[in-house]
Amino acid sequence: MTVLIDSNVIIALLNTRDRKHPRARELLTRLKDQEYGMRLTIDYVLDEVLTTLWMHTQQKNIVTKAHTLIRRTPEFIKFEYVTPGVLDLAWEKWEHFAKWPEKPLSFTDCCILAFIDAYDVGYLATFDSDFAGLCQLA
């Protein structure tokens, strides 16, 4: 069993001014337990985390900390790359969801869903309500 960590959880964890910071700390503490299995994330999430933290904080040290946490701290999170096959599946998902503007999903969100499907990920740790009803939420 594995749990994919979405960008908004990592952003809230590292940005102490984020209103969801306490929830992120609590969630990630809970995810240390083996109940959810290994924690992982993908390169598209890394891009969102670094870009959002930079845009919201303009603090290089926080962006560097995020990069180190995601790319250089395997005991915290396993880092995976989206493969061409997952990209193709993500595009199919994006085309499907684009038909319903009331349920808009970004391409990154579709990459997350495709990765979950392709690698049989059991949970998604996210604060994003757009995923409601699409996968199990941790």
CATH of the domain at 112: 3.40.50.1010
Cβ burial, residue 104 (10 Å; 0-12/13-18/19+): exposed
Higher pLDDT residue, 31 or 131? Answer: 31
Report the pLDDT averaged over residues 110-119.
96
Residue 36 lies in a domain: yes
pLDDT of 31 over the 50 cut: yes
Nearest in space to 93 (alpha carbons), one of 76, 112, 75, 121 = 112
pLDDT of 138 over the 50 cut: no
- The whole-number pLDDT of residue 19 equals 95
Residue 83 lies in a domain: yes
pLDDT band at 133 (very low <50, low <70, confident <90, very high): low
Lowest model confidence (mean pLDDT) among 8-22, 27-41, 53-67, 77-91: 27-41
- ∠61-13-37 over CA atoms, to 5°? 120
Residue 136 lies in a domain: no
pLDDT of 104 over the 80 cut: no
pLDDT of 136 over the 50 cut: yes
Residue 134 lies in a domain: no
Higher pLDDT residue, 138 or 23? Answer: 23
Whole-angstrom Cα distance, residue 27 to residue 57? 22
- The whole-number pLDDT of residue 34 equals 76
Do residues 125 and 138 make contact, with C-beta atoms less than 8 angstroms apart?
yes
Range of the domain at 119: 2-128
pLDDT of 137 over the 70 cut: no
How would you classify the pairing of strands 123-125 and 78-80? unpaired
CA 47 to chain centroid, in Å, comes to 10
Tally of domains in the chain: 1
Query: Which whole-number Å values give the CA distances from 129 to 24, 32, 70, 87, in the listed order?
Result: 15, 23, 23, 23
Higher pLDDT residue, 67 or 105? Answer: 67
Do residues 69 and 7 make contact, with C-beta atoms less than 8 angstroms apart?
no
- The whole-number pLDDT of residue 68 equals 97
The model's pTM: 0.91
Dihedral in degrees, nearest 10, Cα atoms 123, 116, 43, 3: 20
